[in-house]
Amino acid sequence: MNIIFLGAPGSGKGTQSEQLIAKHGLQHLSTGDMLRAEIAAGSELGLAAKQIMDAGELVSDDIVIGMIAKRLSDKGALFDGFPRTLAQAQALDALLAENAQQIDHVVFLDVDNEEIVQRMLARGRADDNEATIRNRINVFEQQTKPLIDFYRAQGKLREIHGKGGVEEIAARIEQAIL
């Protein structure tokens, strides 16, 4: 089973990913985690990505698609924060098709923007200041929201109200993907 988690930054994708990965034995593919690891390692990719991420922008498709392609396996995956653009979604479909796989479900965690701002300010990351958070939400609205219609047209979109307790939201997701 291959699942995509869509949602604005701070919508709970990472938290809910942990729940599904543990329950279904999926590989966790988080481009945010991959990029943060590159930054922590001080790699050339990490240094370039840090500048882009600190501005609240998206890292180029070539970089993130390459990172995903290296890590794909046949055991099923949960894609957390990827794809973020229509081009990435189409590239992912092509990568999976090469391995006779497809996306089974796309879970969209729908959370109010002001709730997201408060959540992200509370978690205290260095790149989580209010201006950067609002820019990241705007980037999501412009570049990632079109994926909602893309996956809805394929009959794969599952819209989940993303406000509430972790277990409550996890139950909504489980119900939607059964």
Marked catalytic residue, from 13, 50, 119, 172: 13
Closest CA to 54 of 132, 116, 122: 132
User: Is 152 marked as a binding-site residue?
Assistant: no
Marked catalytic residue, from 23, 71, 75, 125: 125
Is 134 annotated in a binding site? The answer is no
Is 13 annotated to bind ligand? yes
Listed in sequence order, the residues at least 6 apart from 10 whose beta carbon sits closer than 8 Å to its beta carbon are 111, 116, 117, 119, 120, 123, 133
Residue 15 in marked binding region: yes
14 labeled binding residue: yes
Does 71 appear as a known binding residue?
A: no
- The torsion defined by the Cα of 21, 13, 87 and 63, in degrees rounded to 10, comes to -80
d(CA 8, CA 162): 11
Q: Among this protein's residues, is 136 annotated catalytic? A: yes
Residue 31 is assigned to a ligand binding site: yes
* Residue 11 is assigned to a ligand binding site: yes
Choose, from 119, 136, 158, 172, the residue flagged as catalytic.
136
- Is 125 catalytic? The answer is yes
**Residue 75 annotated as lining a ligand binding site:** no
Enumerate the β-bridge partners of residue 79: 4, 29
C-beta neighbour count of 116 within 10 angstroms: 22
CA distance 162 to 63: 29
Does 36 carry a binding-site annotation? Answer: yes
3-state secondary structure 59-103: CCHHHHHHHHHHHCCCCCEEEECCCCCHHHHHHHHHHHHHCCCCC
Query: Is 158 an active-site residue?
Result: no
Q: Is 13 annotated in the active site?
A: yes
70 is annotated as an active-site residue = no
Confirm or deny that 96 is annotated as ligand binding. Answer: no
Annotated binding site: 10-15, 31, 36, 57-59, 81-84, 88, 123, 125, 136, 164
Annotated binding site for ATP: 10-15, 123, 164
Catalytic residues: 13, 84, 123, 125, 136
